[in-house]
Amino acid sequence: MKVINWYIVREVLKGSFVALIVLLMLFNLFTLSDELKDIGKGDYHLREVFLFVILTSPTVVYELMPSAALLGSLFVLGAMANNRELIAMQASGLSVFGIIRAILLAGLVLATLAVSIGEFIAPDAEHEGQMLRSAAQNKQVVMQTLYGLWLREGNAFINVRQITTENKLVDISVYELNANYQLTNMLHADQADFISAGNWALTEIRNTKILGDHTQVGLKKQAQWNSNIAPELLNSVLVTPDNLSLYDLYGYIEFLQNNKQKTLVYELAFWGRIVNPLVIFVMLLVSAPFVIGVRRGSSVGTRIIIGVLIGMSFNVFSKIASHLGLVYDLNPILVATLPSISVLAVALYAIARIKV
């Protein structure tokens, strides 16, 4: 029986990886098509486009894993059913639930891979990709460090310690150099608010001019600051669920709660991350009723269409539940798990009706 079990596991994995590659190529083609429209914007050229697509691919792989598992298992197990391999396995003593157990063992491998990519590769790669895209399009050198965000604008070096929203900066320092790279002016502001393209409003300003052997300090409550820092660039470095791992999400939720800020978006992302690997098992269970006990004449194409419809319906249902959760402030655990629990119930009902 071990030989048969490992054969099923190997074939399901093979089919899932093929489906994953095909889906990834399709999604990346759509992304590439969208990004090509922005070529020539700033320093955003073909090289940057391909780098952006590559860096955002791990996130796409993580999100596509459940759909790939469903399509791959439908294709492979459907071929086995058409070739009467599943009937032969049952005749040799392997039960229906033994076949399902082998399918779920393949799911364990896929779930482990998904968690590894989603936790250790995708967040950093996604962040780097968004940073690269925004920095290239806005023609600005950007570096994020433990001491905040650093940008270069001409001969000025700008340090932003905190970004509360894409239109508001906190604790800003501007260091201006002359042609000989000597420091000539230092400006510090408690806050900067975006007004319009190229214009920011500074509050609580301290300006220090360096004049040879002495300095001149000026204080202002408010002043206008002419800078081409784009809000789109700042948006790429804001903390978003896509560029946080599960551990970082948990820590950030605690931080927001301690500061009396809203956390629902991040809580939904947190529980979504926990549920996503489990969705792989649900999708594999969904595939079982379509191949076990189904007559031999069912075409592979029909099964794939069914799989696509199920996958699309599940994704739409998940997004609707997520939006409703945000609008009506629903329990994040319920919102994250309800679609999977609903599909799981239907799958288990369908499996129970399989004639052994």
What is the DSSP code string of 3-32? Answer: HHHHHHHHHHHHHHHHHHHHHHHHHHHHHH
pTM value is: 0.80
Structure confidence at residue 296 as a pLDDT band (50, 70, 90): low
Angle at 116 between CA 112 and CA 120, to 5 degrees: 170
Sheet holding 199-211, edge to edge: 141-145, 148-153, 156-165, 168-177, 183-196, 199-211, 214-226
Q: Is the pLDDT of residue 146 over 60?
A: no
Give the chain's mean pLDDT: 87
- pLDDT more than 70, % of the chain: 91
Q: Is the pLDDT of residue 223 over 60?
A: yes
Angle at 202 between CA 200 and CA 208, to 5 degrees: 120
Structure confidence at residue 155 as a pLDDT band (50, 70, 90): confident
For residue 343, which of 319, 315, 323 has the smallest C-alpha distance? 315
Name which of 39-48, 238-247, 273-282, 337-346 the model is least confident about: 238-247
Angle at 67 between CA 64 and CA 68, to 5 degrees: 80
List of residues 6+ apart from 301 with CB closer than 8 A: none
At position 241, the amino acid (one-letter code) is P
Query: Which element (helix H / strand E) includes 192?
Result: strand 183-196
**pLDDT tens profile 100-116:** 999 999 999 999 999 99
**pLDDT tens profile 190-221:** 999 999 888 999 999 999 999 878 889 999 99
**pLDDT tens profile 60-103:** 999 999 999 999 998 898 888 888 888 888 888 888 889 999 99
List of residues 6+ apart from 325 with CB closer than 8 A: 264, 268, 331, 332, 334, 335
